[in-house]
């Protein structure tokens, strides 16, 4: 099976008035479908930069000096940026950098939100304060899957009571997703299956209530304008043609928006948000941090992406909420087979959800292995020190890691960890270690520990 | 529901402000002596017995024999009744109320046109300048608004006169309309047009299109001068506000959703960037009012500003007092409007 | 950190600040322009003979030739009505404008800042009252208020300055008040209080030095704005004296001749605009220095 994501030799640096910060110094990693890959390290090691580079959302003063980011089936995502850096100006030129970023954004617009999405660290600032959260969720669906939105509503309109009764029967008999899908297809009711299943799978309602809701999903009335818009979108897969006329495009978007809100409500109930129908009309400041993070996750998942990057999703939240988010991640991994990159400074959090973990230091991945291997057979000295630094219930003494993260303007020669490494040798001080696959799936970048 | 609480609180807040405003105006006029009230309400054409009678009447009405704080209330009472005094200037002599009715419409006219220009020019330029930072267009806009900001408003007016009125001879720069064209019209009496006192509107009402066109041409330079003076600071503020917004996390999230750059700017960024600009709109109105004074003087445009300068030069107490009060009232209510509009727009305001 | 290290840090910071400022070429140009104006004012004040100026404080009319004449060798900027040489008048006027603008800003800033800091620190009812008072002042357009106050006090240069200072202080009061409010919250103030330092001492020694630096930037920016407003007031005829060298007044002299003699309005106007521009450029440069983000 091909990798969902492959990052090779990624090198990224930032221009500042105080010098050039080398944030990533040759990162290699791969990600398979349905995996949760953890990225661990102290602050300043470059993990957030790694996440941002994969999705291409770097600030203007960033430069990609080498490397590739290859998503399954696509060419290198950051090619444009890398080419610009290599043949571009040697001094930082704001205007040109902005132009390149705009170009990159345009190129990646198709992928972002539909194949790759990202959840940022601070839910307090991630959401637009002047827009309703339901809108912010619906927006991403309208952008990437307007057709499926149209189909949903059309399906509800076309379905008859009998159709729905039949589906209810199938559900009660324990039919799985495939069967329902096939049934819907055969009746020309493409679009109804998700709605039905989303309700059926809710855990906060009783069966009777669920039945009632499902039974209402038929013979919906459509206004004539609505019908025109929806059918047109269904056919052409987007908002185009006659709907581009200035006055009409707003109205057309509103038709889709209404359905988008309904889908947003479904998404939120899946994420176990209470009273989703009220929440979608609220503004971010009216919601708690945990709720906001769920909104952001809903936005990230709305279009069933192949890869979701989570940048410290729990660091700004308290422990109970943290636990919920982790549970959610596990649940989603199971349900959708999405791949996740989970960035965190907290190894214990990563231990809970990740299949594989990569330890980052000074812009490189120094060790990468399946989770149990990392914890039971760590090879790199830094990994060992990180593990020893985790507070545990049995009261073992926590051992901090002496020294500090190196100044990324002047990365130490040789292995970047050698100033803090208890096992450093002369070789470590002189040469940079290669990454070696010690056993299957276990990679280490360290001289003494090969 | 809590929004209404905010509205009511804001309205209540109006009262002490109004009291403060009227008190300051009163004190100002009073510092020059008690007779100021007299001269403010006195018709200088009266002589002899009529004058004595008026003095007596005023003295009793305003209780001029009593201590100041008492006088304040009687004066305030007169103000609330609509008796704002007597003005005596070269362009007009008579009741202040009449003067306001005659001059205010013209000032409103150029202010409104200037405001529209400010928004229509300012917002797109400010947004474009921020979105295309450091481009040639951005630099042009920045240099332009920087220069305009440094120019005193009278200089802007003079430069426009030189460019468009003298060298290019395109636009007129004196008065509201060419006096010859209105001399024979029935709805213009003594230079005053009826029913709205705004020549351009009355001309449209009376189907006199050539006069309307002429009045329109006369409108352009004063309004544009006003607009240019104020749009400079607006563009600067909007640009920096927009730049700040574009740096925010939620913009990054919007981009991560893959929506078009145009949608990011227009839907997500712009509304957030405009919020501080709206709060500063109160200052914009203050600038408009102050600017109107200068602009009307340069262009001989008969509005409240022109009347104010005439009153200053002629030491007309009634005029100064009344115009200070009037301007103050306009500004207070403009600020109130801004606060209320802002409370409606920004979903974060919930008291 | 030792004394020596602290001092070295401070010097490094100053060096960085200066390099940031001087890297901004337009800001440097602005600074040069401002210095030219200041030198001009000083020369006129102390050594007017150097420039051949005899009547320092007033315009010298020439009734034999009152009509405005274009720039020539005898009159570098031309003359304006009534026969006044524009070049010398502009030079004289710069001194007056600069002096009075500095006066306005100094008084306004001093009074306003003091009131603002005290009001914020004392808090309570006094703070509320001060806030309401500033609100009332804000509710009158500054031009009108200046006009009214000037009218009351008498229409002279000095009174115009006082009027403007009265209009201007609430701005500083508000500004320093908000600065003080945030400084007040810092723990070192708590620490000082806990060790029993008197309130007044805290205010002067701890709070004031921390709230004031941003005010200085505001002051430098205001110098430009005030001069513009000052000249605007003079332009509309605030001053009764018909022969005072002032840039706005000079411009108004030429207003009636704008069609035939545009230089009469351009030169004085340009003098003001140039100064305001220079001040703004320097202000921008200062902001680059102070804002930690722009430093990177």
Q: What is the ipTM of this complex?
A: 0.84
* B contact residues 206-265, partner A, Cβ 8 Å cutoff: 248-250, 252-261
Report the C-alpha gap between A236 and B212 in whole angstroms. 51
Report the C-alpha gap between B336 and C280 in whole angstroms. 31
- Number of Cβ pairs < 8 A linking chain A and chain C: 5
Nearest to A95 among B134, B253, B348 (CB): B134
| C-chain residue closest to B144, CA distance | C277
Per-residue model confidence (pLDDT) at position B83: 73
Phi/psi of residue A176, nearest 5 degrees: -95, -175
| B-chain residue closest to A109, CA distance | B258
Contact C148 B298 (CB under 8 A): no
Contact B162 C277 (CB under 8 A): no
CA-based nearest residue to A262, from A432, A436, A391, A134: A134
Report the C-alpha gap between A143 and B254 in whole angstroms. 11
Contact A113 B253 (CB under 8 A): no
Minimal CA separation from A312 to chain C, in Å: 24
Per-residue model confidence (pLDDT) at position B351: 40
Q: How many residues make up chain A in this entry?
A: 450
Nearest to B257 among A125, A139, A283 (CB): A139
Report the C-alpha gap between B279 and B37 in whole angstroms. 37
Determine the distance from the C-alpha atom of residue B271 to the mean position of all C-alpha atoms in its chain, rounded to a whole number: 26
Question: Would the CA dihedral through C263, C269, C273, C275 be positive or negative?
Answer: positive
If DSSP codes are grouped into helix, strand and coil, which group holds residue B155? helix
Residues in chain C within 8 Å Cβ distance of A17: 20, 295-296
The CA angle B116-B273-B144, to the nearest 5 degrees, is 60
Q: 10 Å Cβ neighbour count for C18? A: 11
Nearby residues of C103 by Cβ (< 8 Å), 6 or more positions away: C161, C165
CA-based nearest residue to A267, from A185, A194, A175, A366: A194
Report the C-alpha gap between B209 and B215 in whole angstroms. 10
Which of B25 and B268 is assigned the larger pLDDT? Answer: B268
Q: What is the pLDDT of residues A96-150, one digit of tens each?
A: 888 888 888 888 888 898 889 999 888 888 999 889 999 999 999 988 988 888 8
**Average pLDDT estimate for B186-214:** 74
Minimal CA separation from A109 to chain B, in Å: 4
Nearest to C228 among B152, B161, B309 (CB): B152
Q: What is the pLDDT of residues B282-293, one digit of tens each?
A: 778 888 888 888
Minimal CA separation from C192 to chain B, in Å: 35
Contact A283 B250 (CB under 8 A): no
Residues in chain C within 8 Å Cβ distance of B152: 228-229, 231-232, 235, 248, 269, 272-273, 276
Report the C-alpha gap between A23 and A63 in whole angstroms. 10
Residue of B150, B289, B324 for testing the chain C interface, max C β-carbons within 10 Å = B150
Per-residue model confidence (pLDDT) at position C48: 74
C135 touches chain B (CB under 8 A): yes
A106 touches chain B (CB under 8 A): yes
Phi/psi of residue C186, nearest 5 degrees: -65, 150
Per-residue model confidence (pLDDT) at position C296: 46
Question: Before C66, cis peptide (omega within 30)?
Answer: no
* B contact residues 119-138, partner A, Cβ 8 Å cutoff: 132-135
A204 touches chain B (CB under 8 A): no
Residues in chain C within 8 Å Cβ distance of B21: 136, 139-140
C232 touches chain B (CB under 8 A): yes
Minimal CA separation from B275 to chain A, in Å: 10
- Number of Cβ pairs < 8 A linking chain B and chain C: 139
Per-residue model confidence (pLDDT) at position B72: 77
Contact A102 B261 (CB under 8 A): yes
Residues in chain C within 8 Å Cβ distance of B293: 143-144, 147, 236
Contact B154 C269 (CB under 8 A): yes
Q: Which chains pack against B, by 3+ Cβ pairs within 8 A?
A: A, C
Phi/psi of residue A71, nearest 5 degrees: -95, 145
| B-chain residue closest to C226, CA distance | B152
> What is the DSSP code string of C136-160?
HHHTS-HHHHHHHHHHHH-SSHHHH
| B-chain residue closest to C139, CA distance | B332
Report the C-alpha gap between C168 and C175 in whole angstroms. 11
Question: Would the CA dihedral through C111, C112, C113, C117 be positive or negative?
Answer: positive
Beta partners for A5?
A31, A71
Structure tokens at A319: 């422990």
B159 touches chain A (CB under 8 A): no
B344 touches chain A (CB under 8 A): no
Minimal CA separation from A149 to chain C, in Å: 43
Phi-psi group of C95: left, alpha or beta (phi > 0 → left; psi -120 to 50 → alpha; rest → beta): alpha
Q: Reply yes or no on whether the pLDDT at B300 is more than 80.
A: yes
Distances (CA, A) of C67 to A68, B166, B292, C257: 77, 19, 30, 9
Report the C-alpha gap between B319 and B86 in whole angstroms. 7
With beta carbons less than 8 A apart as the criterion, state whether A171 and A196 touch: yes
**Alpha helices, DSSP H only, in A216-346?**
224-236, 246-270, 276-279, 289-301, 319-336
Structure tokens at A30: 């791969």
A16 touches chain C (CB under 8 A): yes
Determine the distance from the C-alpha atom of residue C259 to the mean position of all C-alpha atoms in its chain, rounded to a whole number: 32
**Average pLDDT estimate for B321-330:** 84
- Number of Cβ pairs < 8 A linking chain A and chain B: 83
| C-chain residue closest to A14, CA distance | C296
Report the C-alpha gap between B268 and B258 in whole angstroms. 13
- Measure CA of the first residue to CA of the last residue in chain A; give whole Å: 28
CA-based nearest residue to A339, from A365, A301, A378: A301
Per-residue model confidence (pLDDT) at position C295: 45
**Average pLDDT estimate for B202-229:** 83
Q: What is the mean pLDDT of each run of 10 residues along chain A (450 residues)?
A: 80 82 88 90 84 89 86 78 71 79 88 90 88 92 87 83 80 77 78 78 76 78 80 74 73 86 88 87 88 90 89 79 79 81 88 90 88 88 83 69 74 77 78 81 76
* A contact residues 224-243, partner B, Cβ 8 Å cutoff: none
* Beta strand residue intervals within chain C, DSSP E: 79-80, 84-85
Q: What is the mean pLDDT of each run of 10 residues along chain C (296 residues)?
A: 68 73 80 88 79 72 74 77 80 87 90 85 81 80 76 80 87 82 66 65 65 76 88 83 82 81 85 90 78 53
A17 touches chain C (CB under 8 A): yes
Q: Reply yes or no on whether the pLDDT at B59 is more than 80.
A: no
Contact C269 B21 (CB under 8 A): no
Report the C-alpha gap between C102 and C45 in whole angstroms. 15
User: What is the bridge-based pairing of β-strands A19-31 and A36-40?
Assistant: unpaired
Minimal CA separation from B279 to chain A, in Å: 16
**Average pLDDT estimate for B85-103:** 79
Place of tokens 């003298």: B166
Report the C-alpha gap between B308 and B319 in whole angstroms. 7
Contact A18 C20 (CB under 8 A): no
Minimal CA separation from A125 to chain B, in Å: 6
Per-residue model confidence (pLDDT) at position B225: 92
Q: What is the CA radius of gyration of chain B?
A: 24
Q: Reply yes or no on whether the pLDDT at B228 is more than 80.
A: yes
A91 touches chain C (CB under 8 A): no
With beta carbons less than 8 A apart as the criterion, state whether A390 and A372 touch: no
Beta partners for A14?
A21, A62
Which of B16 and B117 is assigned the larger pLDDT? Answer: B117
Please state the pTM of the whole predicted model: 0.82
With beta carbons less than 8 A apart as the criterion, state whether A43 and A61 touch: no
| C-chain residue closest to B307, CA distance | C236
Contact B250 A106 (CB under 8 A): no
| C-chain residue closest to A17, CA distance | C296
CA-based nearest residue to A119, from A361, A363, A344: A344
Q: Which chains pack against A, by 3+ Cβ pairs within 8 A?
A: B, C
B139 touches chain A (CB under 8 A): no
Report the C-alpha gap between A99 and A106 in whole angstroms. 11
- DSSP 8-state symbol, A76: B
Structure tokens at B155: 């200089």
With beta carbons less than 8 A apart as the criterion, state whether A408 and A362 touch: yes
| B-chain residue closest to C274, CA distance | B150
Distances (CA, A) of B272 to B243, B261, B344, C110: 11, 16, 14, 35
């Amino acid at each position: 099976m091909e990798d969902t994501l492959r990052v090779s030799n990624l090198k990224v640096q930032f221009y500042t008035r105080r010098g050039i910060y080398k944030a990533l110094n040759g990162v290699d990693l791969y990600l398979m479908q349905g995996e949760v890959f953890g990225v661990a390290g102290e602050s300043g090691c470059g993990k957030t930069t790694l996440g941002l580079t994969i999705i291409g959302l770097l600030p203007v003063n960033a430069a990609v000096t080498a490397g590739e980011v290859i998503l399954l089936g696509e060419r290198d995502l950051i090619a444009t940026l890398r080419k610009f850096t290599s043949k571009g100006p040697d001094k930082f030129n704001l205007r040109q950098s902005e132009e390149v970023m705009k170009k990159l954004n345009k190129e990646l617009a198709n992928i972002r939100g539909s194949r790759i999405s990202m959840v940022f660290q601070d839910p307090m600032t991630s959401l637009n304060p002047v827009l309703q959260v339901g809108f912010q969720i619906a927006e991403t669906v309208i952008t990437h899957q307007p057709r499926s939105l149209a189909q949903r509503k059309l399906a509800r309109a076309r379905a008859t009571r009998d159709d729905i009764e039949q589906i209810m029967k199938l559900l009660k008999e324990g039919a799985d997703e495939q069967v329902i899908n096939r049934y819907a297809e055969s009746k020309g009711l493409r679009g109804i299956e998700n709605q039905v299943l989303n309700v059926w799978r809710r855990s906060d309602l009783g069966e009777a209530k669920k039945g009632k809701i499902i039974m209402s999903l038929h013979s919906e009335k459509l206004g004539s304008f609505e019908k025109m818009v929806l059918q047109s979108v269904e056919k052409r897969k987007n908002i185009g043609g006659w709907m581009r006329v200035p006055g009409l495009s707003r109205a057309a978007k509103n038709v889709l928006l209404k359905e988008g809100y309904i889908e947003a409500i479904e998404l939120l109930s899946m994420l176990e948000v209470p009273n989703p129908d009220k929440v979608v009309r609220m503004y971010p400041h009216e919601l708690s941090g945990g709720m906001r993070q769920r909104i952001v996750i809903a936005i990230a998942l709305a279009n069933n992406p192949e890869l979701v990057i989570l940048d410290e999703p729990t660091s700004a939240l308290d422990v109970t909420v943290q636990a919920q988010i982790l549970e959610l991640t596990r649940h989603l991994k199971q349900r959708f087979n999405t791949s996740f990159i989970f960035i965190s400074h907290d190894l214990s959090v990563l231990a809970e959800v990740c299949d594989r973990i990569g330890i980052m230091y000074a812009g490189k991945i120094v060790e990468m292995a399946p989770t149990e291997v990392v914890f039971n057979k760590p090879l790199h000295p830094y990994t060992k020190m990180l593990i020893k630094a985790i507070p545990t219930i049995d009261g073992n003494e926590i051992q901090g890691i002496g020294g500090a993260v190196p100044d990324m303007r002047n990365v130490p020669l040789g292995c970047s960890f050698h100033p803090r490494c208890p096992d450093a040798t002369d070789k470590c001080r002189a040469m940079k270690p290669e990454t070696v696959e010690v056993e299957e799936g276990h990679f280490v970048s360290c001289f003494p520990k090969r | 529901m809590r929004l209404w609480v905010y509205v009511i609180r804001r309205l209540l807040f109006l009262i002490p402000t109004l009291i403060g405003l009227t008190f300051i105006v009163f004190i100002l006029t009073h510092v020059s002596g008690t007779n100021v009230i007299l001269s403010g309400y006195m018709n200088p054409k009266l002589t002899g017995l009529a004058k004595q009678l008026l003095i007596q009447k005023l003295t009793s009405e305003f209780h001029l024999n009593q201590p100041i704080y008492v006088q304040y209330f009687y004066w305030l009472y007169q103000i609330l009744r609509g008796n704002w005094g007597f003005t005596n200037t070269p362009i007009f002599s008579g009741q202040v109320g009449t003067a306001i009715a005659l001059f205010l419409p013209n000032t409103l006219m150029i202010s409104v046109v200037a405001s529209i220009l400010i928004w229509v020019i300012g917002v797109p330029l400010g947004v474009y300048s921020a979105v295309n930072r450091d481009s040639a267009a951005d630099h042009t806009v920045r240099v332009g608004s920087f220069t305009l900001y440094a120019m005193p408003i009278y200089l802007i007016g003079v430069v426009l006169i030189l460019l468009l009125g003298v060298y290019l001879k395109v636009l007129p720069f004196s008065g509201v309309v060419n006096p010859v064209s209105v001399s024979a019209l029935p709805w213009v009496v003594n230079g005053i047009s009826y029913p709205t006192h705004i020549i351009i509107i009355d001309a449209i009402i009376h189907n006199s299109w050539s006069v309307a066109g002429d009045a329109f041409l006369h409108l352009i330079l004063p309004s544009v001068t006003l607009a240019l003076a104020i749009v400079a600071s607006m563009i600067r503020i909007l640009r920096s506000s927009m730049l700040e917004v574009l740096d925010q996390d939620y913009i990054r999230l919007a981009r991560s959703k893959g929506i078009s750059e145009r949608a990011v700017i227009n839907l997500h960024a712009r509304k957030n960037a405009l919020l501080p600009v709206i709060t500063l709109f109160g200052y914009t109105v203050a600038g408009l009012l102050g600017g109107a004074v200068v602009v009307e003087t340069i262009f001989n445009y008969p509005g409240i500003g022109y009347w104010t300068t005439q009153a200053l030069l002629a030491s007309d107490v009634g005029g100064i007092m009344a115009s200070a009060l009037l301007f103050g009232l306009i500004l207070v209510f403009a600020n109130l409007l801004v606060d209320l509009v802002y409370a409606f727009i920004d979903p974060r305001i919930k008291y | 950190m030792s004394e020596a290290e602290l001092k070295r840090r401070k010097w490094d910071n100053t060096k960085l600040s200066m390099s940031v400022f001087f890297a901004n070429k337009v800001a440097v140009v602005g600074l040069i322009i401002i210095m030219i104006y200041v030198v001009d004012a000083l020369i006129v004040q102390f050594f007017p003979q150097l420039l051949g100026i005899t009547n320092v404080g007033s315009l010298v009319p020439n009734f034999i030739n009152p009509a405005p004449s274009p720039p020539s060798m005898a009159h570098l900027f031309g003359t304006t009505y009534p026969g006044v040489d524009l070049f010398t008048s502009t030079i004289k006027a710069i001194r007056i404008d600069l002096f009075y603008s500095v006066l306005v800003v100094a008084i306004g800033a001093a009074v306003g800042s003091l009131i603002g800091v005290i009001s914020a620190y004392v808090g309570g009812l006094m703070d509320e009252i001060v806030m309401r008072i500033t609100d009332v002042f804000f509710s009158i357009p500054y031009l009108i208020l200046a006009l009214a106050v000037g009218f009351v006090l008498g229409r002279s240069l000095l009174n115009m300055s006082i009027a403007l200072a009265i209009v201007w202080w609430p701005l500083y009061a508000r500004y320093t008040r908000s600065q003080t409010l945030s400084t007040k919250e810092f723990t070192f103030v708590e620490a000082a209080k806990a060790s029993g330092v008197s309130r007044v001492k805290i205010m002067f020694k701890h709070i004031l030095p921390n709230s004031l630096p941003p005010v200085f930037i505001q002051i430098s920016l205001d110098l430009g704005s005030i001069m513009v407003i000052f000249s605007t007031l003079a332009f509309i005829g605030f001053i009764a004296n018909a022969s005072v060298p002032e840039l706005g007044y000079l411009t108004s002299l030429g207003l009636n001749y704008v069609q035939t003699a545009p230089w009469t309005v351009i030169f004085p106007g340009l003098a003001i605009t140039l100064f305001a521009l220079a001040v703004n450029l320097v202000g921008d440069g200062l902001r680059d220095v102070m804002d930690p983000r722009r430093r990177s």
